[in-house]
Chain A
Amino acid sequence: MKAYSLDNVSALVVDDNRFMRTIIVNVLRGLSIHHVAEARDGYEALEELRATPIDLIVMDWEMEGMNGMQLLQTVRSGKRGVNPLIPVIVVSANTIARNVIQARDAGMTEFLAKPVSAASLYARIVSIIESPRRFVRTGSYFGPDRRRRFEADYVGPRRRTEDQQRTGSLDDLDAVKRA
């Protein structure tokens, strides 16, 4: 993993637990991110996002007040004067699949399971820097492309409507696989 100088990055930490905010702020400052703003819930976060240019959001998922899901949906909606393309790392101790899928489908950039460590949070930041994903807008989703890998010789099922139209039908895939 490369060492990056993060001095010019400004981050926003959103968590309703004061001590958890302190942990994450300490990690970020230790990684040389000097400008770290804090918010106790989604409402405060939106205020902060309107008032300060923020490059990265690190947010909890289960929060009282406006929770992580509502905040992420609001950010990705681009309403309320917030940059909808901002990278968002969701940090949660609740790692059941349903929770992670909800966060993915609301447009998170990265998911970090607690416990938080300097190495685990830095790895997510590096992933955002080195492997940026284009954004996708469909009728029901706006956020980073949920497909992280692109395989030119992929022969599995194509689930997107446009893919199905391009290949004819899913039944035709057997012929593709045999070819």
Chain B
Amino acid sequence: MANDKPKVEFIDNPNPLRTKVKVKGGDPSDMLAKAEESVQKLGGEFETIFSDNVTALAAAMADVRQGGMTRERALIAMRRLLHDLRGQAGTFGYPLVSHIGDSACKFIDLSEDFGPTETDVLAMHINALQAIRQAKIKGDGGAVGRELMDGLRKVILKYNAGAELD
């Protein structure tokens, strides 16, 4: 019993990163603005990716509805696309796309079974992304964005309550 006490060892981290940097003086706002500018130059590429991903999501959903791709395979493919969108869209001024992608990923992750009703809920998320692409909605989308998010929230609440979806 004497050796039951878990051994805890502390190691002082030499922090090699600290030895490699120098304080420049002033604040970093100019450097951050320059770095952000170089990221925002990728905005055009993101818009192409967004459009392509929405097309791929709609195609995968149509395939599932027609009984083509199995739900499991389609879900993996769709979650991947939605996960990429939720991670990238906010960087380029599309937080609404990020929110919808996040809502869809969480819905997939938290659904134990994925049947026709769950497919309908996911399809509504994809429809919302198609609407954003078509109307070229940037930012939070204002009133239209709120309407889209409220609509999805209500659908998920209904689903959670076990009610019939419209």
Contact = CB atoms under 8 A, between A and B. Distances in A.
B11 A19 contact: no
Interface stretch (B58-66, B86-94, B113-121, B132-140): B86-94
B32 interface: yes
A30 B24 contact: no
B9 interface: yes
Interface size class of A (residues with CB under 8 A): 35 or more
Contacts of A162: 5, 8
A90 to B, nearest CB: 13
B83 A62 contact: yes
Interface of B: 5-18, 20-28, 31-39, 41-42, 45-46, 49, 83-84, 86-91, 95, 98, 101-102, 105-106, 109
B13 A144 contact: yes
B39 to A, nearest CB: 5
Interface of A: 1-6, 8-9, 17, 19-20, 22-23, 26-27, 29-32, 55-56, 62, 85, 87, 92-94, 96, 114-119, 122, 125, 128-129, 132-139, 144-145, 160-162, 165
Given A3-B25, A9-B21, A55-B16, A30 B9 contact: no
A26 B12 CA distance: 32
A6 B32 contact: no
B86 A93 contact: yes
A96 B22 contact: no
A135 to B, nearest CB: 4
A129 B7 contact: no
Given A4-B28, A128-B17, A161-B6, A20 B83 contact: no
B36 A30 contact: yes
